[in-house]
Amino acid sequence: MLRNLREKISGNEILCSAIKRVIVLDKIDSTNSYAQSLDRPADSTVVIASSQTKGRGRDNREWKSFAEKNISMSIILDYPKDKDNLGLISILSANSLVEALEELNIKSQVKWPNDVLVGAKKISGILSEASFKNNVARSIIVGVGINVNCTSDDFHKDDYKYRLEPTSILLESGNVTQREDLIVSFLSFYFKWTKEFKIRNYNKILDFWKSRWDDSGKEISIVSNGKKISGTMSDVNKNGELVLDVGGQMKVVNSGEILV
């Protein structure tokens, strides 16, 4: 259980003013699904579960969670008026975790569109989804999963096949981390970055992300809208879209799955 989480959030001056509502759950299927079910979610509502049984990533792939060893949370934001830059929501979320990990002396990298890696191993995934009411987008729900105190045995006990080899803070640092402290750290950075988003300081968000992006210049294949595209990763633009050099022509990809 995250028994001390509310107290630690209330003791943080930044979070007291930034977060409108905190929902702490013992066990839930998916924090994103729970957030979607809320009738009138307030902007800057945070849903956190001590244990998540049916976490999901992109394309409804399973996100493995281990009771009391992961962080599973969703953050609800009002749907922004400037829709062109929605891709930066996942990017600023990755920025927040990168900074929180640096406080633990863990150097991480980002992978477009929604992963945080240590070396080539995945330590966190981010899933941003729109929430609709009467066919009108009302919120963005940002799901964040972080592997905190998981062991190698946890990851591989059922022979699950991962797209990217997983890792955790415990495996990278050798230290057990208090989840409440990491949640507070992450959220402090998160609401710092959402403030930059709201004042349209998009370049600052993207420049930080690119400073942790090692894939520029790499040749890849990506599946986007059911089509496979191969090219060289050239850039990520201010809308959070991937720019691919495909035979000398620049192609913008706003969503997709990089094949590994």
Same domain, 242 and 202: no
Looking at residue 58, its pLDDT comes to 66
Q: Residue 233 sits in a domain of what CATH number?
A: 2.30.30
Same domain, 81 and 153: yes
Same domain, 226 and 183: no
Mean pLDDT by 10 residues, the chain (260 residues): 88 92 92 91 93 73 82 94 88 98 97 93 94 84 96 88 92 96 97 95 97 93 87 94 93 82
Q: Residue 21 sits in a domain of what CATH number?
A: 3.30.930.10
What per-residue string of b and e applies to 41-52 under the rule 16 or more CB within 10 Å gives b?
beebbbbbbbbb
Looking at residue 83, its pLDDT comes to 83
Same domain, 240 and 160: no
Same domain, 125 and 21: yes
Q: Which of 170, 188, 210 is the last residue of a domain?
A: 210
Looking at residue 60, its pLDDT comes to 62
Q: Which two tokens stand for residue 160?
A: 């699950």
Same domain, 234 and 176: no
What domain range includes position 238? Answer: 219-258
95: exposed, middle or buried (Cβ count in 10 Å: 0-12, 13-18, 19+):
buried
Looking at residue 235, its pLDDT comes to 95
Edge-to-edge order in the sheet of strand 219-224: 249-253, 242-246, 227-236, 219-224, 257-258
Same domain, 193 and 225: no
Same domain, 204 and 223: no
Q: Helix 179-198 and helix 87-102: axis angle, to 10°?
A: 140
Same domain, 40 and 150: yes
Distances (CA, A) of 139 to 22, 79, 130, 198: 16, 4, 6, 14
Same domain, 139 and 236: no
Same domain, 113 and 182: yes
Other Cβ atoms within 10 Å of 192 Cβ, number: 15
Same domain, 230 and 147: no
Q: Which of 210, 232, 247 is the last residue of a domain?
A: 210
Number of domains in the chain: 2
Distances (CA, A) of 145 to 81, 94, 220: 27, 11, 25
